[in-house]
């Protein structure tokens, strides 16, 4: 039986002991993030294709360039499309690993960055911290244009769940605006032509790309045209 409390501490240990990268904005890339055995369980419990919903129809994103993305939510309609074991696995992950202690620990660790962001935005510290999780599956596409994350998000975590390293160049890319002082608090997606590509997080098994949302946390996904490609991710958000 998997010890979820121990797995939570393993994930936090790997995240909080990885030095942040400060340019072009504060972010971290962690590998590995889960224990080897638990990551095997994640792979074994990925829902089948028919259990997913087009991401634009989930209510989790505004209309935009998400045509290649589908999502699996922890709600009754989605869990009804999978076996009880699969539904229970993902619920246990959210309740036992990505629980309130997990999100509170991240907020405490990154509090100086979050506080600086909120001060710059001119808003008070939130009265309530929430958390959310969604499984995402991508196919070949024209990419996800450049954005800084939803305005309500405080911390964004993108867990990469591929089977192997064949799509390593297809992770999240960081950008600098060509107009270097351009900033965006979130919402709109911006065209690739207005930004310089900086670095792409390797899309490797059991890895994590994460960042504290700011007005310069520009990121996106470059156009990918690979027949039969499948990118599995787990997105976890700490938000106000």
- Domains of the chain in start order, with CATH, are 4-239 (2.60.120.620)
| pLDDT exceeds cutoff 80 at 58 | no
Distance CA(69)–CA(229), nearest Å, equals 12
Joined tokens for residue 124: 């008070």
Q: Which residue has the tokens 């991240």?
A: 106
Give the pLDDT band (50/70/90) at residue 59.
low
Joined tokens for residue 183: 């900033």
Q: Is 102 helix (H, G, I), strand (E, B) or coil?
A: helix
Q: Which of 152, 113, 154 is nearest to 20 (CA)?
A: 113
Distance CA(164)–CA(153), nearest Å, equals 30
Torsion of the alpha carbons at 73, 77, 81 and 85, rounded to the nearest 10: 70
Q: Which residue has the higher pLDDT, 73 or 2?
A: 73
Q: Which of 92, 55, 61, 48 is nearest to 74 (CA)?
A: 92
Q: Model confidence over 75-84: pLDDT tens digits?
A: 999 999 999 9
Percent of the chain with pLDDT over 90: 87
Give the pLDDT band (50/70/90) at residue 142.
confident
Mean pLDDT of the chain: 94
Q: Is the dihedral of CA 63, 69, 70, 75 positive or negative?
A: negative
Question: pTM above 0.85?
Answer: yes
Distance CA(11)–CA(88), nearest Å, equals 20
Distance CA(25)–CA(40), nearest Å, equals 32
């Amino acid at each position: 039986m998997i010890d979820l409390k121990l797995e939570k501490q393993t994930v936090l240990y790997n995240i909080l002991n990885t030095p942040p990268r400060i340019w072009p904005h504060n972010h971290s890339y962690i590998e590995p993030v889960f224990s080897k055995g638990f990551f095997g369980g994640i792979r074994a419990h990925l829902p089948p294709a028919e259990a997913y919903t087009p991401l634009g129809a989930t209510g989790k994103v505004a209309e935009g360039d998400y045509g290649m993305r589908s999502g699996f939510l922890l709600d009754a309609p989605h869990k009804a499309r999978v076996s009880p074991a699969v539904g229970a696995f993902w619920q246990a992950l959210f309740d036992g690993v990505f629980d309130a202690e997990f999100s509170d620990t991240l907020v405490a660790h990154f509090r100086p960055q979050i506080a600086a962001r909120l001060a710059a935005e001119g808003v008070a510290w939130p009265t309530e911290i929430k958390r959310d999780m969604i499984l995402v599956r991508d196919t070949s596409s024209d990419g996800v244009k450049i954005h800084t994350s939803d305005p309500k998000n405080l911390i964004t975590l993108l867990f990469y769940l591929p089977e192997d390293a064949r799509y390593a160049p297809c992770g999240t890319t960081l950008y600098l605006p060509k107009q270097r002082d351009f900033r965006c608090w979130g919402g709109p997606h911006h065209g690739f032509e207005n930004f310089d590509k900086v670095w792409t997080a390797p899309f490797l098994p059991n890895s994590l790309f994460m960042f504290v949302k700011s007005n310069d946390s520009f990121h996106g996904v470059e156009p990918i045209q690979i027949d039969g490609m499948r990118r599995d991710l787990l997105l976890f958000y700490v938000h106000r």
